[in-house]
């Protein structure tokens, strides 16, 4: 289940032909906010999950992409996964990310980051429930979770049309150059370890765009569209690991290997009315 196949499937760091420097794609007109992320360091895992555990969060206009349909369309890693987990054909695919940023602003306001403070997000790949529906530019994802360690800033984000909830999230680099991340929220504890290993890939020429939909029943109704470029990444080495425990739906997911350490990109975004 090599990561390059996952990246193609999920579109998280889509690589396109480019010149010496990656150019961030232009966002569509009409953004109601201006979001900027810079100087990120993050560890990312790709997680399969049972959609029944989060069906109450899925808007009627969307459906989860399933492992069975990926395998049917020739995605090799999905075929290999289902050979090991034959009852998971109806399961979805998502990414889990813990990220520390040198810059994070929405309309000029920044969060208060505690020591080693970071953000964590769990996004699932989705498609329109009716094929003829146009979801607009960007590969669509459902924001199942977006945890921030600043409750006042969470309220600010939601008021600006950006889905988020409070969570105690940390990410730090240890003396041996490995990274350790944690998430502590009601019903869920995550511990992640990553030692970046091997060649750095990506960088020049990497660019992409995503459309992030809030979960059903959230007070947030806007769609957040983001554009990014310049991802660099390394595999997390053999000693790296993820631990997910609790009653939260994410705790029952299956983390795929390898996870990655990603850095060096720029991201812009904005909230758009539906």
Instruction: Tell which residue, 175, 172, 193, 176, has the closest CA to residue 236.
Output: 193
Q: What is the helix, strand, coil percentage profile of the chain, to 5?
A: 15, 45, 35
Per DSSP, the three-state class of 133 is coil
Cα 194 from Cα 261, distance rounded (Å): 7
Question: Does the pLDDT of residue 40 top 90, yes or no?
Answer: yes
- Look at residue 6 in the predicted model and tell me its pLDDT: 53
What are residue 183's DSSP bridge partners?
Answer: 169, 190
pLDDT confidence of residue 270: 98
Q: pLDDT at position 58, please?
A: 98
Name the token pair of 233. Answer: 């990444």
Nearest Cα neighbor of 121 from 103, 153, 144 is 144
What is the rounded CA–CA span in Å between residue 262 and residue 244? 21
Q: Is the distance from CB of 235 to CB of 147 less than 8 angstroms?
A: no
Q: What's the CATH code of the domain at 19?
A: 2.40.400.10
Strand order in the sheet with 241-246: 168-173, 179-185, 188-194, 241-246
Q: pLDDT for 194-203, tens place per residue?
A: 999 999 998 6
Averaged over 61-76, what is the pLDDT? Answer: 97
Q: Is the dihedral of CA 250, 182, 36, 16 positive or negative?
A: negative
Of 12-16, 51-55, 114-118, 220-224, the least confident: 12-16
Q: What is the pTM of this model?
A: 0.92
Looking at the structure of the chain, the number of domains it has is 1
Q: 211 and 138 in contact (C-beta within 8 Å)?
A: yes
pLDDT at 10: 61
Residue 74, domain extent = 3-272
136 exposure class (CB count in 10 Å sphere: 0-12, 13-18, 19+): exposed
């Amino acid at each position: 289940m090599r990561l390059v196949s996952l990246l193609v499937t999920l579109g998280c760091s889509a690589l396109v032909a480019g010149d010496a420097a990656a150019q961030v794609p232009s966002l569509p007109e009409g953004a109601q906010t201006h979001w900027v992320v810079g100087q990120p360091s993050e560890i990312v895992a790709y997680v399969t999950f049972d959609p029944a555990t989060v069906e109450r969060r899925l808007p009627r206009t969307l459906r989860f992409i399933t492992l069975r349909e990926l395998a049917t369309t020739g995605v090799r890693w999905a075929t290999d996964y289902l050979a090991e987990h034959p009852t998971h054909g109806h399961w979805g695919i998502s990414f889990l990310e813990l990220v520390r940023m040198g810059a994070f602003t929405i309309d000029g306001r920044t969060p208060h980051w505690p020591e080693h403070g970071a953000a964590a997000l769990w996004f699932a790949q989705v498609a329109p429930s009716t094929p003829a529906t146009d979801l607009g530019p960007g590969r669509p994802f459902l924001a199942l979770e977006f945890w921030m360690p600043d409750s006042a800033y969470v309220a600010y984000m939601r008021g600006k049309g950006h889905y988020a909830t409070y969570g105690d999230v940390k990410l730090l680099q240890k003396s041996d150059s490995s990274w350790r991340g944690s998430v502590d929220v009601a019903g869920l504890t995550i511990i992640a370890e990553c030692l970046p290993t091997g060649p750095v890939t990506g960088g020049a020429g990497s660019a992409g765009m995503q459309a992030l939909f809030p979960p059903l029943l959230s007070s947030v109704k806007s769609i957040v569209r983001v554009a990014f470029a310049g991802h660099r990444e390394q595999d997390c080495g053999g000693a790296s690991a993820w631990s997910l425990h609790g009653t939260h739906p994410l705790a029952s997911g299956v983390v795929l290997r390898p996870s990655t350490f990603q850095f060096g990109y720029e991201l812009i975004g904005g909230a758009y009315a539906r």
